[in-house]
Amino acid sequence: MARYVDRGIDEAERTNARAVVFRLDTLGGLVSSMEDIVKRINSSR
């Protein structure tokens, strides 16, 4: 999931998107993956 979010943000930055919307429908997962996702979102433009 973290790689999916990373690719989405990369594409948004590359195309100068004004916003990114993620719809996550999961049963849960690793805390470390969630932390990676939050870090990537916070470091995006």
- What pLDDT is stored for residue 24 in this prediction? 81
Of 20, 1, 3, 9, the residue nearest 43 (C-alpha) = 9
How do the pLDDT tens digits run along the chain, 45 residues long? 889 899 999 999 999 999 999 888 888 888 998 899 999 999 998
- What pLDDT is stored for residue 14 in this prediction? 96
Domain residue ranges of the chain, discontinuous segments joined by + = 2-43
- What pLDDT is stored for residue 45 in this prediction? 80
- What pLDDT is stored for residue 27 in this prediction? 85
pTM of the model: 0.74
